[in-house]
Amino acid sequence: MSEKTDDFAKHNLEYKTVFRDYYAGFIPFILAMLFPLFVFIAVIFFTSKMANRSEFIAILASGVSLRRILRPYWVGGVFLAIMLFLANYYILPRANEKRTKFEAKYTQTTKMEYISKSIYMRVDSFSYCGIRYYDTTAKGGGTFFMETIRNHKVVYNLRADNINWDTAKKVWKLTGVIERTVGDLKEDVKFHQEIYKNFNFTPIDLQRDEYVKDRLTTPELNRMIAAEKLRGSETVRELTMERAKRLATPISVIILTLIGAIMACRKIRGGSGAHLALGFILCAFFILTDRFSTIFSTKGNLNPYIAAWLPNVLFGFVTLWLYKKAPK
C-alpha cells in the first residue's frame, strides 16, 4: 500500500484516481502472482489443524484410505486451477493494462524505451526491413530500408530518409525514397519525394515495452507470437515463455495443494508451526526453481516450455515421494 505513496503525492493524485486507475489493476496482478502460494499455505494451515486434533488418525483407523482423503483436495485444487487459468488467459491481461499504463505515467517502475535503435525484422516470406532509429512518441524515425529476395538474389530495394505513421490513413509515410527493381540484365530506379506504404507492422509492433506480453489476452498473445516469428524478432522466446507459464502455473496449484495436504496430515511435534515452517521452505525452493528456469530460458537456450514446466515436474516427483512415505 505504501510502496508508491511518494509518487502519488508528487503528482497530487486523489485517492479515487489511485484506486480506480492503479489498485484496480494491481490487486488482481498480485493475487494471481501469489495465488499458488496462498493456496499452499492455506491447505497446510487447516490440514495441520485437523492433524493436531488427531482427526486423520481416526479417519485412517476407520478404514478410509489416504487416496480417498485426498479426493476433496483434488477437487478443490482443480477448481482453483481452473479459476487461475481463466484469469491468466482473459482477466489478468486487462488488469495489467490498467496497472502498467498508470505506472508508465506516474512512476518509474515500468520501463518503456521511447527511442529504439537498429530495428530489423522480416516483413513477409521474401522481404526484410530495418530502421536505424525509431521514436515511439512521434511514431516516426529513419533511415528506413527494405529488400525483397528471391532465389538468393535481391530483386527489390527501397531506401527512405524518414518513415512516419499517418494516423489518418493508417499507413506508413516514406519521404526521400529511392526504389530499385532489379532484373536479370537491367535495373529500374525511381525517386519519390514521398509515398505511402501499407506494411504488416504498426507503431505498436515497434514499441519496445517489456510489459506488452502481460497486457495481451492469450488469443492476442498467440497472434503476436506468430507475427514475431515471421519477423524473426528477438522477443519470441519471452512471449513463448509467457504463454507456457499461463498454462503451467495453474497446474502448480494442484501440485502444491497435494503436497500441502500430504505433508500436513501427519501429526508431528511442533504442530502447525512446524508444518508452516516446512511449507515456507518448500515455497522458497519452488520460487527459486521457477526463477532459475525462467532466466535460463529468456537469457539462454533452454526451451520455454521445458523452463515453464520444470518446477511442476520436479515438485511432481516430490509429491509422489511424499505420498509413498505418508501413513496410509
Q: What is the mean pLDDT of residues 71-96?
A: 92
pLDDT at position 116 is 65
Mean pLDDT of all residues in 141-145: 87
Q: Which one-letter amino acid corresponds to residue 316?
A: G
**pLDDT the model gives residue 271:** 65
Assess whether 200 and 121 both reside in one domain. Answer: yes
Last residue of a domain, one of 193, 209, 225: 209
Whole-model pTM: value is 0.72
- Helix, strand or coil for residue 187? strand
Q: Is residue 241 part of a domain?
A: yes
Weakest-pLDDT range from 17-21, 51-55, 64-68, 274-278: 274-278
How confident is the prediction for the chain on average, in pLDDT? 84
pLDDT in tens, 233-280: 767 888 888 888 888 999 999 999 999 888 888 777 766 677 778 878
Would you state the pLDDT for residue 254? 93
Cα distances (angstroms) measured from residue 168 to each of 134, 155, 165, 222: 20, 32, 9, 28
The percent of residues above 70 in pLDDT, for the chain, comes to: 93
Is 128's pLDDT higher than 90? no
Is residue 162 a contact partner of residue 176, using CB atoms and an 8 Å limit? yes
Domain boundary among the residues 209, 227, 253 is at 209
List, in sequence order, the alpha helices (H) in 109-235: 203-206, 218-231
> Which stretches of the chain are assigned E, i.e. beta strand?
112-113, 115-122, 127-135, 140-150, 153-166, 171-182, 187-197, 208-209
Rg of the chain (C-alpha set): 27
* 3-state SS class at 197: strand
Q: Would you state the pLDDT for residue 39?
A: 92
Residues 80, 122: one domain?
no
Q: Which of 209, 227, 261 is the last residue of a domain?
A: 209
Res 219 pLDDT > 80: yes
DSSP 47: H
Q: Considering the domain boundaries, does residue 105 fall inside one?
A: no
Q: Looking at the 3D structure of the chain, how many domains does it have?
A: 2
Task: State which residues form the domain around 311.
Answer: 23-96+235-325
* Rounded Cα–Cα distance for residues 78 and 65 (Å): 21
